[in-house]
Structures are given as structure tokens and as C-alpha cells.
Amino acid sequence: MVMAIGSLIGGIFIALWGSEAAFVYNSLSFLLSGILILRLAFPRPDRSCPSPSTPQASYRDVLAFAAHTPIVRSILLMTALWPIGGGIINVLISVYAYQVFQAGEMGIGLFYGAIGVGFILGGLAADLK
């Protein structure tokens, strides 16, 4: 939902006010997030020894579990590859908008808006039986 709605809102924002305003707004949102996180109070961890009845997994146990569990391997692979694909798509959106379609910032906004709509419609279509 974050990707779908975020892409749609980001696309509309860029189409209306341009990419420079979007970068400023995005940086301000990170600043606000940092301020809110700084205000959180975290309890101090209990540094006492764990009770003997609490099982403790070693690093090797976790690696063995990940190596022998297909779903965990798939999640780890997607976690590693998703940022690469996302970076490529972000670069291509700008290239297509500016160089291929000569649509400038409005084109970038429309592309991101289309991604958001595609995420939403794709999710709804995938749920159909």
C-alpha cells in the first residue's frame, strides 16, 4: 500500500509542483520523522543472563535455517534484488519522461502516478478469483 499510494501521491505532487519541490518536501518529511523518533522513549534492556529454559539460537543455527528454508531464501533474495530493480526503474522513469517522451517533470509525475495506479489495480485484480 505504501508503494501504491506513495507513488500515486508522489506522481501527482511532481506533476503539480515539480521535482525540486518534491525533493524539498521529501527531505522535510525525513527531518520530521527523525524528530519524532528522537522523542520516543525506549525501555532499557535487561542485561541479566537469560534463564536456562530460554533456547538461544546461534548465528550458525540461523544461517542453517535460512539455507534450508525456501521461503526464507526467497525473501532474502528479493530483499537483496529489490533495491537494484527499484533504482533502475527510478532512473528509467526520468530518462523516458525527459528524453523519449519530452514530457519533463509533468511526465515524471504521470509515470509515478501510473505506477501507483498500476499497483492498486494489480492488487485488486490479483485478489479476484
Q: Mind listing the pLDDT tens digit for each residue in 59-86?
A: 888 788 888 889 988 998 888 888 888 8
- Taking only the tens place, the pLDDT of each residue in 33-53 is 999 999 998 777 666 655 556
Mean pLDDT along residues 91-119: 86
- Binning pLDDT at 50, 70 and 90, where does residue 129 land? low
Buried b (16+ CB within 10 A) or exposed e, 76-99: eeeeeeeeeeeeeeeeebeeebee
Read off φ and ψ for residue 128, nearest 5 degrees.
Answer: -70, 145
High-pLDDT (> 90) share of the chain, % = 15
Q: What angle, 0 to 180 degrees and rounded to 10, lies between the N-to-C axes of helices 19-38 and 2-17?
A: 130
Instruction: Tell me what pLDDT residue 66 has.
Output: 82
**Strongest mean pLDDT among 30-39, 56-65, 100-109, 111-120:** 30-39
Instruction: Tell me what pLDDT residue 27 has.
Output: 92
